[in-house]
Amino acid sequence: MKPASSTDYRELARRRLPHFLFEYIDGGSYAEETLHRNVKDLQKIALRQRVLNNVSQIDLSTSLFGQKMALPCALAPIGLAGMNARRGECQAVRAANKAGIPFSLSTVSACDIEEVNAAASAPFWFQLYMIRDREFMRDLMVRAKEAGCSALIFTVDMPVPGTRYRDYRSGLAGAPGIKGGIRRAVQGAMKPHWAWDVGINGKPHSLGNVAPVLGANSGIEDFFAWMRNNFDPTVTWDDLDFIRTEWDGPLIIKGILDKDDARQAAALGADGIVVSNHGGRQLDGVPSTTRALPAIADEVGDELTVLADGGIRTGLDVIRMLALGAKGVLLGRLWAYALAADGERGISHMLSLIEAEMQVGMALTGATSIDQITRDMLVAPE
């Protein structure tokens, strides 16, 4: 029986993935308060049910950054996603292309830019962190341009990696050398489907885009050490000039949670922002995206394209985010669960669920197009 919801896909992913990989997808930082707020606050947003409207024809399409999209959604950049299924990012870009939405490739993906480009049938987006080695960043942007990437997502809320207790408990982080490798290998062997699909047939097990700088030291512990040593905590708004000089396409700043930062992004020439707290994986205790989004959309929504992520689990959640002021959303954990559960086919089915849920939600709120989803659709808080 096919999964009926994202909850079903999460459970399938939990069953099929080694424990350390599932915890990496599923977890957040510290006590995970923000991770849970993202979901709970969004689900609390009440929609106005409207009746006796002609909703026989509903159009879910939109355009973002000059790109026509069948849904107001994109697949968010997810690190290590290619470890969830055989050459996972390649499966994901194919599913996104078939659905008519953008795919975003993470800097720290298993499949590199060129491999994903070979699998793609439409332009994809590329996500970049600020790294100490500016020449390495420049090279990544050149490679993304050569691959025809249509937008750059510059993630700004990770000058240092967040503290994620689950990763330490599972053995993904904090277990270096032979001991950590054995622990992860045992967990992998306990999941025969994953062991065959990824462990044996999914090689190479490396982070394709950063493999040139990791060299022979390509283990998971080497990756985390590289992150700690190479992510740049000195980055400021002035560094946006470097990105703008090197990238002449649409530039999306991801990780905005405060309207003053949104104003800065607009003033410095960004084309879009993603209102995001990194899925609750960075600073715990900050507001949910749901709480932060309306003020940010009011502040800069007329000047740049406001996207949002965090806590989205259904098509109704997509509608809620749009009603709060977003022009589109990034789906993160949803596609990671679906990929782990059933590869490309799982992502395609998950996106069909989102589409069907949006169709029903729009029909029952009286909206027939994406531009009709506004704050008037929401029930005012009591």
Task: Please give the positions annotated as active site.
Answer: 278
Two tokens, residue 248 = 């002449």
Rounded Cα distance between 72 and 101, Å, is 8
Backbone angles phi, psi at 254, to 5 degrees: -105, 130
The torsion angle over the Cα atoms of residues 370, 372, 375 and 379, rounded to 10 degrees, is: -100
Is there a contact between 311 and 275 (Cβ–Cβ < 8 Å)? Answer: no
Is there a contact between 23 and 169 (Cβ–Cβ < 8 Å)? Answer: yes
Is there a contact between 226 and 210 (Cβ–Cβ < 8 Å)? Answer: yes
Q: Determine how many CB atoms are found less than 10 A away from the CB of residue 118.
A: 11
Q: Determine how many CB atoms are found less than 10 A away from the CB of residue 314.
A: 19
Rounded Cα distance between 95 and 353, Å, is 13
Closest CA to 40 of 320, 252, 325: 320
Query: Is there a cis peptide before residue 204, judged by omega within 30 degrees of 0?
Result: yes
| Structure-token match 């060299």, residue found | 215
Burial of 66 (0-12, 13-18, 19+ CB in 10 A): exposed
DSSP for 254-308 reads: EEE-SHHHHHHHHHTT-SEEEE--GGGTSSTTSPPHHHHHHHHHHHHTTTSEEEE
| Structure-token match 């009591």, residue found | 382
Rounded Cα distance between 75 and 285, Å, is 25
